Amino acid sequence: MSRSHPAAGYKKIFETVEELNEPIPATITGVIPSWLGGSLLRMGPGQFEVGGEPFNHLFDGQALIHKFDLKNGQVTYYRRFIRTDAYVRAMTENRVVITEFGTAAYPDPCKNIFSRFFTYFKGIEVTDNCLVNIYPIGEDFYAVTETNYITKVDPDSLETLKKVDLCKYLSVNGVTAHPHTEADGTVYNIGNCFGKNMSLAYNIVKIPPAQGDESEPLEKSKVVVQIPSSERLKPSYVHSFGMTDNYFVFVEQPVKINLLKFLSAWSIRGASYMDCFESNYSMGTWFHLATKDPAAYMSSHKFRASAFNLFHHINSYEDQGFIVVDLCTWKGHDFVYNYLYLANVKEEWEEVKKAATRAPQPEVRRYVLPLDIHREEQGKNLVSLSYTTATAVLHSDGTIWLEPEVLFSGPRQAFEFPQINYSQRRGKEYSFAYGLGLNHFIPDKIVKLNVQTKETWVWQEEDCYPSEPLFVPTPGATEEDDGVLLSIVVKPGAERPGFLLVLDAMKLTELSRAEVNTIIPVTLHGVYKP
């Protein structure tokens, strides 16, 4: 199954590109379904150095928004850099001005010691480099990273409209790039909150749908539930969360942000966000539940599991008194982001393989959390769902130890960037997940996984590097996998090296590709706008 990449063509997806002045037409092979008329919007890094200084980490490159437009059988491709403060100031001064995730900005060499001293007291300049995802809030589209700044963009012209500070509306220090959205447009998200007297919590926030009047949904946003941190001064890194019809699921992982390091890092020359992470070697992983309506933390349900890193929830649902939680995990407490420095992923293939061998191993897992807990059932498995081998055992201290069912596992083969038929199956029992196959961290296949039978389907092609596949359902479809997958694929040596790939989601066979004569750097997440 696993391909080899001796030519190391993947290096090309981590190289700087220019933006486009106008959309360019694509050359189409195959047939694009006539009902597919909309825009695929995706975010990723596009500028990997400035003024001769390289950005160090995969999550440091300056935010580039990409758009494939599908209209009556024609396809165009367009991209623009987002005019964030981080980007505009870097371009103006030709140096890294704002500290990024893994790259420190040094003080302005032209300033003397006094003005530097005052800058330090003015405090931290947090990056607004929104390279991770784009999603709608109300009628508007926002490009996001994981800080308190989100950036409103025009999904048609790709113009940057407005920098928004979430701290003005909500008591959070930032929210994830993976909100949950309900059918009516209500958006839920989760973020760390470093409260007064350094009390720590994870806050779940709710942003109501657009009201039809001129009011901003963000103005009406609020924190609906607080989940306490297991460790004072050290919140866990949170990248996504789970939501069923009636519950929120939060997984507290052993990758910690050391707040004291974080607050002092800004006075230390050359510290970045990455320097503030540390692993907790003893806590394992904690699962937390909260009810949705009325919103309340379920403090009596203390779920524990062995240590893993978690970035992406696949789906969660309720079944017969249990909550089933499907996750893309990486085993152990070593932080996966330590392996995503650009210097690592741009190595020759043998080196890339060696580094991935030392990294945490990926695994798709299903955990099952019982809602009914009776003291007398100590020591025996509480999970009675017939279709899973996942277990939950009550211990004498009141904690419930969880062991997973493994849904997908291959040596250094990750099923990541998971997607589902979200509109039909979010928070409900489901069968299919679609993901990007990472081969020693290099994206080289698209994978469909049947989470009930564990059957897999794969699309891959020589020297092709795809991105997260987005599922778009066929209008009026009843079958869960009746639809298409959209992925941006890069084929570095080709005459037209970037293309939009359209796959039949049922069989994972190619329906069409729309090729453009420009390379497209790596994209992380995105959205299909009908």
Residue ranges for the binding site for Fe cation?
178, 239, 312, 525
Residue type, 516: V
**Alpha-helix residue ranges (DSSP H) falling in 322-417:** 342-345, 349-358
Burial string for 446-484 (b: 16+ CB within 10 Å, else e) reads: bbbbebeeeebbebbbebbbbbbbbbbbbeeeeebbbbb
Reported in sequence order, the residue ranges of 258-404 that DSSP labels E, i.e. its strands, are: 277-279, 285-292, 295-297, 302-305, 308-319, 322-331, 362-370, 391-394, 399-403
Q: Is the dihedral of CA 457, 463, 464, 465 positive or negative?
A: positive
Terminal-residue alpha carbon distance, the chain? 34
Question: Within 13 Å of residue 511, how many CA atoms lie on the same side as its CB?
Answer: 19
Q: Quick one: tokens of 345?
A: 């992923």
**Spatial separation of the C-alpha atoms in residues 475 and 509, rounded to whole Å:** 19
DSSP reduced 3-state for 116? helix
**Spatial separation of the C-alpha atoms in residues 311 and 290, rounded to whole Å:** 20
Q: What one-character DSSP code corresponds to residue 353?
A: H
